[in-house]
Chains A and B, each alone.
Chain A
Amino acid sequence: MPMKGRFPVRRTLQYLSQGDVVFKSSVKVMTVNYNTAGELSEGARKFVFFNIPQIQYKNPWVQIMLFRNMTPSPFLRFYLDSGEQVLVDVEDKTNREITEHIKKILGKSKEMLDKEERERKKLSHPATFGPKKYHLRECMCEIEGQVPCPAFVPLPKEMRGKYKGAMKNEA
């Protein structure tokens, strides 16, 4: 059973997480003005169709607005929290060029992203055990090579307290 829609791959998590444009925290609103017809708006249309879901996935707190057929030429406008407005003319550009452009001017650099990733990793210790929400593993029995969980595979009787107690009582 195929997925619904024209390019349902745009709705998959793998595709969305492949987006590499993470805006700086000063960017609050992104506005795209484009036309639904015309050769010059083709890049902008493809950008809106393919790349905006990725951008919104990576920047859930940025408001993205689309305006169709309001201006003769397509452009992007970013509203930063300092009140500054950044205009990007995208006439006659492919969608890849547009993403590269905005990544360069308003995206977080690779080093910054790596630093943030490291900060986030520091908060949680990978060696601890506990609920799945906060830790990687809940019990030692989940690790390969360790004693399997007695709920699924009964322990050999030498390891059971019942047997050990019986032996001790006997002796």
Chain B
Amino acid sequence: MAPRGSLLLLALLLLSCALPHARGQHWSHGWYPGGKRDLRTPSDLPAWGPRAVPARGRKTRHDPPAKSKVGRVKMPPPVDPEELLVVQERYRQYRLVLSALRAEFRAEVLQKKREERLIAEGLPEELEEHRRLMAWNEEENGRQRARREERLRREEEEQKRRKSEIAEKQARKMEAFLEEKEKEVLQLQEEAKNFITPENLEARIEECLDNPRNYNFAIDKDGRVVKRTVLS
């Protein structure tokens, strides 16, 4: 009783001494939460994400192997060749059969789904619906065609109107031009009567000398013109 009690006390003491020093254990035991690799990285980083510090442990990849591993030759696990051949053959057949079965079942399921879909689409209501929609589409096309023809017709009319307008304007311009030219010609004809030609040169000179014209005039403060000045 007493030794067990003292043993118990000792155990409790040890536990209480060990627990506070839990952090004093070496990290390589992997007792800390997250295991050996988690010690130096914060726990909110995902395991597959890049780490600030590598997870390899004490050594980098460039360190040479330890001296204790100098003569180490890594050998593969021993294998009985006959057993291996037999086991490989059996596995090969098994896998062959299974994959063939899987492929068969998969193809069957797909075929059934496809047939179901075809039946669902080949229903008379579906065909009827399709025909109705196609008819509606044709109508819509017809309406569009009517609109297009209307538009083209209007455009043609517009074009013709514009052309005729231009022709009219052109004609009017031509007329006006001709009129002007005619007027000029008439005026010229009129003036031609008063031209001085070599024949009536003498007569005209005589005429001028006989009738002296007085071009002077006076003007008073009210702006009235006075032409009765004396010829000087």
Contacts and interface: CB of A to CB of B under 8 A. Distances in A.
Nearest to A88: B137
B168 interface: no
A137 interface: no
Contacts of A104: 133, 136
Interface in B52-100: none
A87 B141 contact: yes
A115 to B, nearest CB: 10
Contact of A73 (B43, B44, B47, B148): B148
Contacts of A152: 34, 43-44
A26 to B, nearest CB: 7
Interface string A90-128: 011100000001001110000000000000000000000
Interface in B20-61: 33-34, 38, 43-44, 47
What is the interface residue range for chain A against chain B? 20 to 34
Contacts of A25: 117, 121
A154 interface: yes
Given A25-B121, A154-B33, A91 B148 contact: yes
Nearest to B8: A170
B144 A105 contact: no
Interface in A1-60: 24-26
A101 B140 contact: yes
A151 B34 contact: yes
Contacts of A65: none
Contact of A24 (B121, B137, B151): B121
A105 to B, nearest CB: 5
Interface in B105-153: 117, 121, 133-134, 136-137, 140-141, 144-145, 147-148, 151
Contacts of B47: 151
Nearest to B117: A25
Given A92-B147, A105-B134, A150 B141 contact: no
B133 A89 contact: no
A92 B144 contact: yes
A91 B134 contact: no
Contact of B137 (A73, A86, A93, A150): A86
B145 A89 contact: yes
B34 A105 contact: no
Interface in A118-157: 150-154
A88 B148 contact: no
B148 A92 contact: yes
Contacts of A106: 133
Nearest to A157: B19
27 contacts: A25-B117, A25-B121, A84-B134, A86-B137, A87-B141, A88-B137, A88-B140, A89-B140, A89-B141, A91-B148, A92-B144, A92-B148, A92-B151, A93-B144, A101-B140, A104-B133, A105-B133, A105-B136, A150-B33, A151-B34, A151-B38, A152-B34, A152-B43, A152-B44, A153-B33, A153-B43, A170-B11
Given A26-B121, A92-B147, A150-B33, 10 more contacts: A87-B137, A89-B140, A89-B141, A89-B148, A91-B144, A92-B151, A105-B133, A152-B44, A153-B43, A154-B33
Report the 9 A-B pairs with minimum CB-CB distance, sorted nearest first: A154-B33, A89-B144, A105-B133, A152-B43, A89-B141, A105-B137, A91-B148, A151-B34, A86-B137
